[in-house]
Chains A and B, each alone.
Chain A
Amino acid sequence: MTQATAASSEHTQMNTAKADSPASGLAPTAKTATELPKEVLVKWLYDMQLIREFENRTMQAYQQAKIGGFCHIYTGQEAVAVGTIGCTNSDDPVITAYRDHGHALARGMSPESCMAEMFGKTTGCAKGKGGSMHMFDRPNWLFGGHGIVSAQTPMGAGFAFSEKYQLEVMGIGKKKVTLCYMGDGALDQGCFHEAQNLASLWDLPVIYILENNGYSMGTAINRHTANSENLIDRAKGYGIKAAKIDGLDIMNIYNEFKPIVDECRETSRPAFIDLKTYRYQGHSMSDPQKYRTKEEVDTYKDKDSIAKLCSDLMHMGHIDEAGWKSMRKVISDIVRASVEHAENAPIPEAGELYTDVYANPQKNLSPTATYTHGTKNPLM
Chain B
Amino acid sequence: MTTMPMIESDIHPAVDNPELPAFLPNDQLPPFDGDRIIQYREALREAMSEEMRKDKRVFLLGEEVAQYNGAYKISQGMLDEFGPKRIIDTPISENGFAGMAIAAAMTGLRPIVEFMSWSFSFVAADPILNNAPKMLYMSGGQFGCPIVFRGNDGAGGQLASTHSWCVEALYANVPGLKMAIPSNPYDAKGLLKTAINDPDPVFFMESERMLGDKAHVPEEEYYIPFGQARLAREGDAVTLVSFGRPVNFCLEAAETLAAEGIEVDVLDMRTIRPLDIESIIERVKVTNKVLVVDQSWPFASIASEVMAQICETCFDWLDSAPARLNTADVPTPYAKGLEYDYLPNPERIVDAVRKMLG
A positions within 8 Å CB-CB of B? 93, 95, 124-130, 134, 136-139, 141, 143-144, 146, 148, 151, 153-159, 161-163, 165-166, 168-173, 190-191, 194-195, 197-198, 201, 355-360, 362-367, 369, 373-377, 380
Contacts and interface: CB of A to CB of B under 8 A. Distances in A.
B136 A359 contact: yes
A201 B91 contact: yes
B346 interface: no
Nearest to A157: B100
A123 B100 CA distance: 30
B7 A356 contact: no
Given A356-B141, A362-B274, A374 B15 contact: yes
A360 B198 contact: yes
B157 interface: no
Contact of A363 (B107, B227, B305): B227
Contacts of A151: 99, 126-127, 130-131
A355 B20 contact: no
Given A165-B109, A359-B146, A377 B56 contact: no
A198 B7 contact: no
B57 interface: yes
Interface SS, B side: loop
B202 to A, nearest CB: 10
Interface SS, A side: loop
Contact of B103 (A134, A154, A380): A154
A357 B176 contact: yes
A155 B99 contact: yes
A376 B98 contact: no
Contacts of A364: 227, 274-278
B140 interface: yes
A134 B198 contact: no
Nearest to A371: B175
A144 B109 contact: no
B274 A170 contact: no
B216 interface: no
Which 9 A-B pairs have CB atoms at the shortest separation, nearest pair first?
Answer: A158-B103, A194-B96, A154-B99, A126-B140, A136-B139, A158-B100, A127-B140, A364-B274, A359-B199
B5 to A, nearest CB: 6
Given A356-B140, A366-B273, 20 more contacts: A93-B107, A128-B140, A141-B7, A143-B106, A151-B126, A151-B130, A154-B98, A157-B103, A161-B100, A163-B107, A166-B6, A169-B59, A173-B5, A359-B144, A359-B146, A363-B227, A364-B227, A364-B276, A365-B178, A374-B14
